[in-house]
Amino acid sequence: MGTEQEVTGSSDSDDGTRSISFSQPATATSSQMMFESANFVSLPTEVTCAVLSQLHPADLLRFCRTSKDFRDMLMSESYDSITIWKSARESHGDVPEPMPGVSEFRWATWLFENPPCEVCGSRIPLLQRGPYLSVGHRVCKECFRKKCLFPFNVSREENQDVPDIELFSLSVPKDNGHEKPGFWAEDVNDVSATLRSLTRDIELDKHGAAQALEDYMDRRRELVRSSHQAYQDFKHWRTRDSPRVRSHNREELQSYIAALGYTWDDFMFVMRRHPRPFYDYLFTRDTELRHEEWKKEEPLVIEQLGRCPAEREAEHRLNVLADRWSVVTGHYKNYLQDLPPLRQAEAPPLAVANLFPGIDILVNSPSTDFLSHELSRAMRNIKEMIADYIEAKDMMCRDIAVQCLTHSDDHPPPHHLASFVIQCAQQDCFNRAEYGLRNRPLFGPADVRNHHCYSQPLPESPLCGLESRYAFSDRGREVVLSLLSLLGLEPHTTLPETLDRLSARFLCGNCPSIETATNESRYLYNWRQSVIHSIASDKETHVEFKWELLPDESAEDVARREKRSRETDTLDAGIEAWWCNHCNHTLENGEDRKLNVLAHICERHKEILSPEEGRDFFFSPAQTRSGPQPILYVVERAVTPN
């Protein structure tokens, strides 16, 4: 035919596979393709039908898109078109017959492509293919719910008896793991209207009306039976054909990736690192991957593959760091287990062991070697490393105080005072937030020493320490100074421990009262909570600090309420706070709730009948026990009218 297009083919093999390919040189123009298709269509009808009938229906679909002539020939409802599709399907005996009322071309698109929803035209996710075909339509989940009725509604709204449900085409989609039958609303309406019309004819005593009704119901039952059978055949065929389709898609992808100059491992790495809808069901879809689909996705895949070497190197680097970190924490955990419980609680947590001086250099070494022996040897000086780590934190506080506060030779040093308030400034820290603040306030070296910055290098890796960064809080200092002025204490000598022992409680004069039907209440804060509240509050409403001290006559009642609140709240549940003083249970099991530790003592230390805090269990000195949530204090009770 004077064409450059090559058509090669072979008959089906014994295993039901096929080999049909079309190759078009890159130099061929669209006008050449139109000329060639015109020549092919101009052949005698018998020859054209005979050739096309040997193709697989999936290849006929591709043929439809090569030219307008082929579309006109294969997408029409002509006798020749129906004959070609039917012969092509029958020559490949594994392809099921169409459902009643569905054309051969439309049926082929359902089987071998992913056409849009017939109602709204949206793209249907590949995971939703198939379940709704039993009603003779291919729709998305949303349109199925809109366009379908369910047995209760059919019987109620259409006034149908339950046995008549068998006259409607049934769909059984899986919705959240449960099978729920549904009926196409238009189908229900048409059948219901016909039944009402035929029943009215019987009531009017028309000749043959009863027989007409019986014949119609028989035809509907047969139609529904055929639809159900066709749908079952479709499901069985899909189950049998899916392995072949998925194997074919994998081979096609491998050839595409190889043509781009990359390996299959590179592509799998890209799929894992850059999840996209195209990748989601790439190996589970039941339709063959069309070349047009691949060409649409190819530019982005090429871009992602181009970044693959650098991303792989970065991931390998993170994996090496994680392996080194695991060696360090393993040695450190063994060291902690040999310490008494109280000493364990005072030591830095496992997650910051990679920050110990000397260890941090080995863990973050640019070398990609494992360095296991060097790390193990360095961990022998663990006591000195812990001391140096704590000293470095104290030095950091001292440096901040020197830079931000007026230098004084008075004792104690400025960074030990209650007015020394700083905040975590490490952007990647997982341990920054508290009470709705992005940067949690820290009071003095004790808080700084017990605050540790964490990160997670990989989603599957545990937390590891980050280098801490802090910023001085001028607003926090101003709040503390206002509280000290109210209490009559000297700012240059008052320590955080001094305010903790006073147990003073404050009411914020800038916040409005909370009115109820019986009283007016305001939140009551300890001094640490007062600082947190003022930093977190709106600067416009809290320009000046207005504090009111809790009256002495109310202190006993408030203390009792706070104790009751502490016994029931779960504020301390999210940190490793509560420890058993008789064993290493907390370190081994990560238990931190007070109730869990009490249950452990009753189970493992049965000789202790009444566990006491301080003797049998304790709150970790390495944690800030900020107390229960602020409680509501009644400032005025409503007057009940007589």
Measured in degrees and rounded to the nearest 5, phi and psi for residue 433 equal -75, 145
Query: Which contiguous run of DSSP H or E holds residue 399?
Result: helix 382-404
Q: Is the pTM of this model over 0.75?
A: no
Mean pLDDT of 458-462: 61
Name the residue ranges covered by the structural domains of the chain. 1-95, 317-565
Task: Write the pLDDT tens digit of every residue in 558-593.
Answer: 777 776 665 554 444 444 577 888 887 666 555 567
Evaluate the CA torsion angle 253, 254, 256, 257 in order and state its sign. positive
What span, in angstroms and rounded, lies between the C-alpha atoms of 89 and 18? 13
Most confident of 162-171, 478-487, 548-557: 478-487
Question: What spatial distance separates the first Cα and last Cα of the chain, rounded to whole Å?
Answer: 109
Q: What is the pLDDT of residue 261?
A: 92
Q: What is the pLDDT of residue 2?
A: 38
283 with 254: CB under 8 angstroms?
A: no
In percent, how much of the chain has pLDDT > 90?
A: 6
Predicted confidence band at 176 (pLDDT cuts at 50, 70, 90)? Answer: very low
Q: What is the pLDDT of residue 127?
A: 57
- N residues, the chain: 642
Distances in whole angstroms, Cα of residue 623 to Cα of each of 347, 349, 494, 576: 11, 11, 21, 8
Q: What is the pLDDT of residue 8?
A: 38
Predicted confidence band at 20 (pLDDT cuts at 50, 70, 90)? Answer: very low
What one-character DSSP code corresponds to residue 22?
A: E
User: Which two three-digit tokens encode residue 517?
Assistant: 């039907």
Mean pLDDT of 464-471: 80
Helices 291-306 and 308-337, axial angle in degrees (round to 10): 60
Q: What is the pLDDT of residue 478?
A: 92
CA nearest neighbour of 440 among 536, 525, 526: 536
The distance of Cα 57 from the centroid of its chain, to the nearest Å, equals 40
What are the residues whose beta carbons fall under 8 Å from the beta carbon of 514, sequence distance 6 or more?
Answer: 520, 521, 522, 523, 632
For residue 356, is pLDDT > 80?
yes
Mean pLDDT of 488-512: 88
Predicted confidence band at 177 (pLDDT cuts at 50, 70, 90)? Answer: very low
What are the residues whose beta carbons fall under 8 Å from the beta carbon of 30, sequence distance 6 or more?
Answer: none
Q: What is the pLDDT of residue 577?
A: 72
What span, in angstroms and rounded, lies between the C-alpha atoms of 544 and 478? 10
- For 375-440, where are the E strands, in sequence order? 421-424
What span, in angstroms and rounded, lies between the C-alpha atoms of 446 and 390? 10
Scanning the structure block, which residue is given the tokens 């509604």? 153
Q: What is the pLDDT of residue 256?
A: 92
HEC profile of 231-293: HHHHHHHHHHHHHHHHHHHHHHHHHHHHHCCCCHHHHHHHHHHCCCHHHHCCCCCCCCCCHHH
Q: What average pLDDT does the chain have? A: 77
Q: Residue 619's beta-bridge partner residues?
A: 578
Predicted confidence band at 28 (pLDDT cuts at 50, 70, 90)? Answer: very low
Lowest-confidence pick of 136-140, 326-330, 369-373, 594-598: 369-373
Predicted confidence band at 479 (pLDDT cuts at 50, 70, 90)? Answer: very high
For residue 230, is pLDDT > 90?
no
496 with 477: CB under 8 angstroms?
A: no
Predicted confidence band at 262 (pLDDT cuts at 50, 70, 90)? Answer: very high
Measured in degrees and rounded to the nearest 5, phi and psi for residue 536 equal -80, -20
622 with 345: CB under 8 angstroms?
A: yes
* Burial (CB count within 10 angstroms: exposed 0-12, middle 13-18, buried 19+), residue 383: exposed
Long-range contacts of 485-494 (CB under 8 A, 24+ apart): 486/547, 486/549, 487/549, 491/417, 491/418, 491/419, 492/408, 492/410, 492/417, 493/410, 493/412, 493/417, 494/417, 494/418, 494/419
Residue 48 or residue 545, greater confidence: 545
What span, in angstroms and rounded, lies between the C-alpha atoms of 171 and 175? 12
Q: What is the pLDDT of residue 480?
A: 93
Q: What is the pLDDT of residue 126?
A: 61
For residue 223, is pLDDT > 50?
yes
Q: What is the pLDDT of residue 578?
A: 79
What span, in angstroms and rounded, lies between the C-alpha atoms of 502 and 489? 11
Helices 308-337 and 382-404, axial angle in degrees (round to 10): 110
For residue 46, is pLDDT > 70?
yes
Predicted confidence band at 22 (pLDDT cuts at 50, 70, 90)? Answer: very low
Task: Write the pLDDT tens digit of every residue in 102-147.
Answer: 888 888 888 888 788 888 888 777 655 555 677 788 888 888 888 8
Helices 79-91 and 104-112, axial angle in degrees (round to 10): 40
Lowest-confidence pick of 13-22, 60-69, 157-166: 13-22
439 with 469: CB under 8 angstroms?
A: no
Predicted confidence band at 438 (pLDDT cuts at 50, 70, 90)? Answer: low
Predicted confidence band at 58 (pLDDT cuts at 50, 70, 90)? Answer: confident
What one-character DSSP code corresponds to residue 365?
A: -
What span, in angstroms and rounded, lies between the C-alpha atoms of 245 and 250? 9
Scanning the structure block, which residue is given the tokens 């008549």? 164
